[in-house]
Each structure stands twice: as structure tokens, then as C-alpha cells.
């Protein structure tokens, strides 16, 4: 994965090596662990670490300047978010979502985000509408400049902010896991013959128009269609090209 060329190691503070259990030292260790977690998570979501990449403990602990114990904690946290798979005797790898799991993810997003816009249509404020329209403008400019990773990040942020504005913490928590895993699905199953997968900013605008008008039915319909279109950009057909061993060895 050659992570060492991409970013400098996190240099451990000399005080972290001191054998003391002071609150200050514990605080620095917690922050160091969080930094490593965020660095690996961002590399996965930015598509710098594709599905199936092995996350070897020794090279990574050296790159980040942390102990293998701390690195294992980070990898376990990433596994809990479904971004990493920990396999017995094989170590940790960047998760490779299955076709069925990917379809289920989009089905769950349609259900949850339909509920989110239904709630938000009844309570959205003028200030929130302005915020959403500003986000859409920034997102559109990123795609127009050809900054696909930046555009995708901003697209995901748009969906996150809708959930935050709706004010339902349980729905927001469910959605956070789903949108965090979506880039992995896009990377694993993007159709290389089609255009680069990404959100349609016109759809985002139509969703905000419906929310501003208090039209819950239209907001939910456009959201469903929007997510269905994103899913259709991916190659989520079952692989029927497996080797027929019986045919090969038949006489």
C-alpha cells in the first residue's frame, strides 16, 4: 500500500514513552489513536486504499509511529464501522462489500432518507434552506472543476446535514454508518464503461425545493429516485462467470 510515500508518520511525543499513567499522557494517547483512525478512514473513503487491501500491522505501526497494540485498537474500531474486515490468521483488510450487501445498503438508505426528508419538510427553516443551497453550489463547482473526490465528499455531507437538520438522532446514526460505507461500494462496483458515479446536484436542488415548499411526498419521491439512480450507476449484477469445474474435467 506504500502509505509511507503519501503522508508523514505521526511522530510520537517523547512524553508518551514515559512509563506513567498521568491524565495528560492518557489524553495524548487517546488523541494519537484518533489521529491514526482518521488517517486510515480518510484513505479508505478517498479511494486511496481500495477494497481488499491488506492492512499489515508492522508497516502501519512504523508509518504512524505507534505501538502494534494501539494499531490493533484502531483496526478494531474500523471493523466496527464495517470499513475493515478482520480475518482469522489473515489480519485486517479493507472491506469488500458483496453485491447483496451493496443492494441492501441502498435499500436501507432509501428507507431512512425518505423518513428523514419527511420529518425535515415539516420543520425546515429559511436559514437551513440557505445552508443547503450553498452546499449544493459548492458541490456543483467541485464536479464542474473535475474534482470528483471533493464532489463526492460534499455530496455525502449534503445527506449527512439533512439528517442532522431533521433532528432524529437515531436516524442520523443509522445513516452515518450507511453513507460512510457507500464510497467502498462505489469503488468496488463502479462501472468503468459508464461515467464516474456521483450524486446529481439537480436532484439535491429538487429535494431542497420540495423541503422549502413543505412537500413531504415530493421530497421523499425525489430522494428515492436519486438514490436509485446512484445505485444504477454501479455494476451490481451477480457474477455468473465462475469456472465450471465439471465442464472442464468432463471426458
The CATH number covering residue 174 comes to: 1.20.120.530
- List, in sequence order, every beta strand (DSSP E) within 76-139: 84-87, 91-94
Q: 248 in a domain, yes or no?
A: no
- Decide which of 60, 94, 128 is a domain's last residue: 94
Residue 74 belongs to what domain range?
8-94
Closest CA relative to residue 92, chosen from 107, 104, 78:
78
Q: 218 in a domain, yes or no?
A: yes
Same domain as 136, residue 14 = no
pTM of the model: 0.73
Same domain as 67, residue 103 = no
Same domain as 214, residue 120 = yes
Same domain as 219, residue 134 = yes
Same domain as 222, residue 118 = yes
Same domain as 205, residue 136 = yes
Same domain as 208, residue 120 = yes
Residue 246 pLDDT greater than 80, yes or no: no
Same domain as 228, residue 108 = yes
Same domain as 146, residue 215 = yes
**What pLDDT is attached to residue 2?**
45
Q: Indicate the burial class of 217 (C-beta count within 10 angstroms; 0-12, 13-18, 19 or more).
A: exposed
In total, how many domains does the chain have? 2
Same domain as 157, residue 81 = no
Same domain as 107, residue 221 = yes
In DSSP notation, 183-249 reads HHHHHHHB-TTSPPP---HHHHHHHHHHHHTT-HHHHHHHHHHHHHHHHHTB----------HHHHH
Closest CA relative to residue 104, chosen from 131, 82, 130:
82
- Residue 240 corresponds to which cell in the numbers above? 455468473
Q: 84 in a domain, yes or no?
A: yes
pLDDT tens-digit map of 75-123: 999 999 889 999 887 789 999 899 999 999 999 999 999 999 999 999 9
Give the chain's mean pLDDT: 84
Same domain as 199, residue 168 = yes
**How much of the chain exceeds pLDDT 70, in percent?**
83
Amino acid at each position: 500500500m506504500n502509505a509511507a510515500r503519501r503522508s508523514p508518520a505521526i511522530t510520537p511525543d517523547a512524553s508518551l514513552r514515559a512509563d506513567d499513567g498521568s491524565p495528560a499522557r492518557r489524553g495524548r494517547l487517546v488523541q494519537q489513536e484518533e489521529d491514526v483512525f482518521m488517517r486510515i478512514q480518510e484513505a479508505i473513503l478517498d479511494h486511496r486504499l481500495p477494497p481488499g487491501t491488506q492492512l499489515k500491522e508492522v508497516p502501519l505501526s512504523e508509518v504512524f509511529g505507534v505501538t502494534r497494540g494501539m494499531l490493533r485498537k484502531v483496526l478494531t474500531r474500523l471493523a466496527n464501522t464495517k470499513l475493515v474486515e478482520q480475518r482469522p490468521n489473515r489480519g485486517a483488510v479493507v472491506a469488500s462489500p458483496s453485491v447483496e450487501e451493496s443492494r441492501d445498503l441502498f435499500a436501507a438508505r432509501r428507507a431512512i432518507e425518505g423518513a428523514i426528508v419527511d420529518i425535515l419538510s415539516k420543520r425546515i427553516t429559511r436559514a437551513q434552506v440557505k445552508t443547503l443551497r450553498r452546499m449544493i453550489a459548492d458541490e456543483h463547482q467541485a464536479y464542474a472543476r473535475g474534482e470528483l473526490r471533493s464532489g463526492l465528499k460534499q455530496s455525502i455531507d449534503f445527506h449527512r446535514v439533512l439528517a442532522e437538520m431533521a433532528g432524529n438522532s437515531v436516524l442520523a446514526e443509522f445513516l452515518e454508518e450507511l453513507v460512510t460505507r457507500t464510497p467502498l461500494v462505489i469503488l468496488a462496483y463502479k462501472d468503468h464503461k459508464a461515467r464516474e458515479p456521483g450524486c446529481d446536484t439537480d436532484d439535491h436542488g429538487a429535494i431542497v425545493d420540495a423541503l422549502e415548499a413543505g412537500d413531504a411526498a415530493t421530497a421523499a419521491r425525489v430522494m428515492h429516485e436519486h438514490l436509485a439512480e446512484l445505485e444504477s450507476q454501479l455494476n451490481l449484477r451477480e457474477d455468473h462467470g465462475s469456472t465450471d469445474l465439471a465442464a472442464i474435467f468432463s471426458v
